[in-house]
Amino acid sequence: MSAADVHRAITRMAHEIAERNRGLQHVVLIGLQTGGVAVAHRLATTLAELDGADVPVGTLDVAFYRDDIGLRPVLPEAATDIGFDLTGATVVLVDDVLFTGRTIRAALNALGEYGRAQVVELAVMVDRGHRELPIRPDYVGKNLPTSRHEMVDVSEDGVSLGDLVNR
Amino acid sequence: MSPFPAHLLSIDDLGTEEISTVLEVADSFVEVGRRANPKVPALRGRTVATLFFEDSTRTRMSFETAAKRMSADVLSFAAGSSSLKKGESLRDTVETIEAIGIDLVIIRHASSGVPARVAEWVDHCSVVNAGDGWHQHPTQALLDLYTVRQAFGGGDAGLARFQGLRVVIVGDIRHSRVARSQIGAYAAMGAEVTLVSPSTLLPPSLEGWSVAAVSHDLDEVLPKADVVSLLRVQSERGSGEFVPSLREYTAGYGLTSRRAALLRPETLILHPGPIVRGVEIASDVAELPGSLITEQVSNGVAVRMAVLFLLLGQGTLEGADRA
């Protein structure tokens, strides 16, 4: 995916979020540390351009909720920053890459600490498959079939796969 | 990051990079502490024991709170009511603790080197030194660093301020495990440490200590200090016998109101507690804006959470995909 492809995907996902949540009054975006944070901010900017909506953005680190603590090196990326109560909100969790679904499972547990959201939705830039839990995204930038051993990198410049840069 | 060590026995077990990691991870635990429910499941199923052979309220409470906020099970072992009273050796007690299946033991002991010895005896249990004799109290030094970094705005910018920072440690250096840990910690972060103490309360030799200067004149040192770290006069360890009287100690080395006026307004004041008001610090000085004594206590929980998490929460399956 080129940078332009990512930009188009962001615009489309923003439209879908606005379409599904008319008015956007209760919508908040929560970017997962670290890759989801930039995507969440881009979605918020686009939503502001489209609808003039001021959608709050928070960030969430799920390290302390992971199920592989003690199995591999687990470190928080950055402290969680959610400066508002999520009770009653429509939370759109935002991540760059959806893979096994374990990060999202951890995120769902972590979110509960900040209030009881009315609805939680999931937006990802890339769905690379290989789910290990019953989790599916509501908004997808691109479905990208991968092998388990490939790395998916999402950045300002687009999406690349492993060492083989596909821009 | 290189793998975090298996035990935290001395501040020297951590390099500059590991210390920075502890401080960063502590940021996340400070955020946890601000929540309505300040608890995370990170160490669920792990068992932590506090093994305190010496009186302590704040350190024990701080460690136990830290472990409980990470959902670990906590056993509190009071040496006074244990089988040690019946004649069991420390080694047998430790082997019992390990046989029960404790994952981490936090030890305080009046004799230097006990935690290090225990670490040699255990096979799969981590050991944290919560203060041993005159030797080390590494988590106290880490929480001091965290508090100073926080006062400088936190993050990498706060961390960068340690470079060349003028830190003055005042008091009974000789008997202080806190001072020994602080000196190593500040030096690792690039600060310049000056010790101020009566000659009788200095150790016989400072060889191998990362100290820039030693002074006996607090008035002369204070105006240049960025951080003033006071030590408690440790009556139980005999500080008092090394000075003619407590009043004389205060006259020479106490942070009195008169001396506080010599400080620049931005100078930070730290004290590991418990403070003995009127001896090493005047009551009104402890309440000055630059005084971070309360912050030290609240940061202590987050910093100890970071230490326990780094000791217990790190696996060895390198390369496991995290997405």
What residue ranges define each of the domains in chain A, with the CATH number in brackets?
A: 3-161 (3.40.50.2020)
Judged by CB atoms closer than 8 Å, whether chains meet at A74 and B313 is answered as yes
Helix (H) or strand (E) holding B148: helix B138-151
The reply to whether domains B11-136+298-312 and B138-293 share a CATH topology is yes
Structure tokens at B186: 């500040």
Mean pLDDT of B254-264: 95
- What tens digit of pLDDT does each residue of A134-143 get? 999 999 999 9
Alpha helices in A69-141 (DSSP H): 102-111
Q: Is the pLDDT reported for residue A167 higher than 80? A: no
Of the partner residues B24, B313, B322, the one whose CB lies closest to the CB of residue A70: B313
Mean pLDDT of chain A: 92
Local confidence band at B309 (pLDDT 50, 70, 90 cut-offs): very high
Q: Which residues of A touch B323 (CB under 8 A)?
A: 97-100, 103, 128, 152
Measured CA to CA, the distance from residue B71 to residue B41 in angstroms comes to 5
Put simply, the answer to whether A152 touches B21 (Cβ < 8 Å) is no
Task: Report the pLDDT value the prediction gives residue B8, as an integer from 0 to 100.
Answer: 98
- Contact A64/B35, CB-based, under 8 Å? no
Question: What's the rounded mean pLDDT across residues A11-40?
Answer: 95
CA–CA gap between residue A14 and residue A48 (Å, rounded): 10
For domain B138-293, the CATH superfamily is Aspartate/ornithine carbamoyltransferase (3.40.50.1370)
Q: What pLDDT, on a 0 to 100 scale, did the predictor assign at position B83?
A: 65
Q: Residue B82: what pLDDT?
A: 65
Q: Is the pLDDT of residue A14 over 60?
A: yes
Scanning the structure block, which residue is given the tokens 């999520």? A86
Higher local confidence (pLDDT), B77 or B112: B112
Give the residue on A whose Cα is nearest the Cα of B305: A64
- A-B Cβ pairs (cutoff 8 Å, strict): 75
Q: Where are the domains of chain B?
A: 11-136+298-312, 138-293
Mean pLDDT score of chain B: 92
In words, the CATH class of domain B11-136+298-312 is: alpha beta
Nearest partner of A98 among A167, A15, A20, A32, judged by Cα: A32
Pick from A34, A39, A65, A69 the residue to mutate for testing the B interface (most B CBs within 10 Å). Answer: A69
Residue B89 is predicted with a pLDDT of 87
Q: Do residues B16 and B24 touch, judged by C-beta distance below 8 A?
A: no
> Is B171 exposed, middle or buried, given 0-12, 13-18 or 19+ CB atoms closer than 10 A?
buried
- For B140-164, write each residue's pLDDT tens digit: 999 999 999 999 999 999 999 999 9
pTM beyond 0.80: the answer is yes
